[in-house]
Amino acid sequence: MKLFDEIKPVYFIDNEINDILNDINVKLKKINVNDKQKRKYMISKSKIRSIHSSLAIEANSLSLFDVENISENKQILGKKDEVQEVKNAIEAYNHINEYNYKSENDLLKLHELMMKYFDEDNGNYRNHGEGVKRNDEIIYMAPESTLVPSLMKSLFEYINNSELNIIILSAIFHYYFVFIHPFSDGNGRCARFWVTLMLINYDKNFEFIPLEEEIYLNQEKYYLAIAECHNNGNANVFIKFILHTINSSLDKLIKNSNFVLNDIQNKIIELIANNNRITQNEIANITNVNVRTIKRNFKILIDNLIIERIGSDKTGYWQILKWKITKFKKIY
């Protein structure tokens, strides 16, 4: 008997799971990004946010701005190890489409890259016991290291032979990967990367969605879902967590794509078009609108990928994203 047959993934596809899955599929069909420049930009920004969030979960203190600067080969002030973690992740995410989610060997290659310079056994399964700690307390002991190769082989056999929808399959893989905890370090970031890889294989629109960011924003629920599955002996709670997380991310993406400018936002863009180094305080004085309202509208414009800040607050400038420009005839 194969070892994994004794702990074969256990789950129940109930009405809630089916309903969320249907909702996700409907929303995926609503996303239509045909402009090549916009598509490239959105994918790039999504990768940066994914990398920042996934590493932040692992206690990397670098900011989103730092991660973006590293991706552009700019020097930043930061801990050497944290910078290297980001560089490793950037290289991995830049080649995400070259990985085969059904290949165990590709997973080992991913780990080798993600943990380059950090783990002498990078690219290999652990050869010692491993526990998961929170607040210096061991909350979970992973299976013995001697069992890891056969467990991972069985998990990939399951992934290769399953006829489940890939979205559900990605959640099952994520949970049982964390359950096995196959590596000495880097398990979380590799698991989240693999889920993103699986989702992109299901629908290319997932390239626009930084799922890791939504997990980062809901870390407590993430860990609680994993712990509850450990206690329940099935993956249902975690499947639902991942599905709800995906659904929430899609809601944000669709909301952004349907965004309509108000008068204040139109005026902000007009002023930036005339002077890209203009400050928010200056705009407040010109428009006779209080600074708090101006700052709130700036955030909305940034979140909706209409403008972005290039460089620091002191020496940088504002940029209007090119695919949006032609839509705002009032400016030009």
Q: How far apart are CA 156 and CA 107, in angstroms?
A: 10
Contacts of 201 by beta carbon, 8 Å cutoff, 6+ apart: 101, 166
Give the pLDDT confidence score for residue 121 in this predicted structure.
82
Cβ atoms of 330 and 270 closer than 8 Å: yes
Residue 327 confidence class, pLDDT cut points 50, 70, 90: very low
258 is written with which tokens?
């349907």
Of the chain, the percentage scoring pLDDT greater than 90 comes to 61
User: Region 242-259: what's the mean pLDDT?
Assistant: 86
Average pLDDT over residues 196-203: 96
Check whether 242 has a pLDDT greater than 50: yes
Contacts of 274 (CB under 8 A, 6+ apart): none
Q: For residue 242, which phi and psi values (nearest 5 degrees)?
A: -65, -45
Rounded Cα distance, 57 and 178, in Å: 14
Q: Do domains 14-257 and 263-325 have the same CATH topology?
A: no
pLDDT of residue 1: 32
According to the model, what pLDDT value does residue 112 have? Answer: 95
Give the pLDDT mean for 106-135.
Answer: 86
**pLDDT of 248 above 90:** yes
Give the range with max mean pLDDT: 106-110, 115-119, 206-210, 327-331. 106-110
Whether 324 has a pLDDT exceeding 60, the answer reads no
Return the CATH class of domain 263-325. Answer: mainly alpha
Alpha helices in the chain (DSSP H): 3-6, 15-30, 36-57, 64-71, 80-94, 104-114, 148-161, 166-180, 187-202, 211-217, 219-232, 236-257, 263-274, 280-287, 291-303, 322-325
- Residue 134's pLDDT band (boundaries 50, 70, 90)? low
CATH no. of 14-257:
1.10.3290.10
The stretch 103-120 carries a mean pLDDT of: 93
Average pLDDT for 191-215? 94
Domain ranges of the chain: 14-257, 263-325
**What pLDDT, on a 0 to 100 scale, did the predictor assign at position 122?**
87
Buried b (16+ CB within 10 A) or exposed e, 18-34: eebbebbeebbeebebe
Q: What is the pLDDT of residue 332?
A: 29
pLDDT of residue 62: 92
Structure-token match 């399953």, residue found:
162
Residue 53 has pLDDT above 90, yes or no: yes
Q: Rounded to an integer, what distance in angstroms lies between the CA atom of residue 44 and that of residue 176?
A: 29
- pLDDT tens by residue, 67-96: 988 998 988 888 999 999 999 999 999 999
Q: What is the model's pLDDT at position 92? A: 96
Cβ(216)–Cβ(189) under 8 Å?
no
Is the model's pLDDT at 331 over the cut of 60? Answer: no
Q: What is the pLDDT of residue 325?
A: 47
In angstroms, what CA-CA distances link 257 with 185, 250, 327?
A: 38, 11, 13
pLDDT at 135: 67
Round to whole Å and give the CA distance between 94 and 96: 6
pLDDT in tens, 136-194: 776 678 889 899 999 999 999 999 999 999 999 999 999 999 999 999 999 999 999 99
pLDDT given at position 320:
85
Rounded Cα distance between 242 and 225, Å, is: 9
pTM over 0.85: no
Maximum Cα interatomic distance, the chain, rounded to a whole number of Å: 76
Separation between Cα atoms, residue 245 and residue 255, nearest integer Å:
16
C-alpha to C-alpha distance for 118 and 89, rounded to whole angstroms: 13
- Evaluate if residue 326 carries a pLDDT over 60: no
Read off the pLDDT of each residue in 18-24 and give the average, rounded to a whole number. 96
Rounded to the nearest integer, the mean pLDDT of the chain is 88
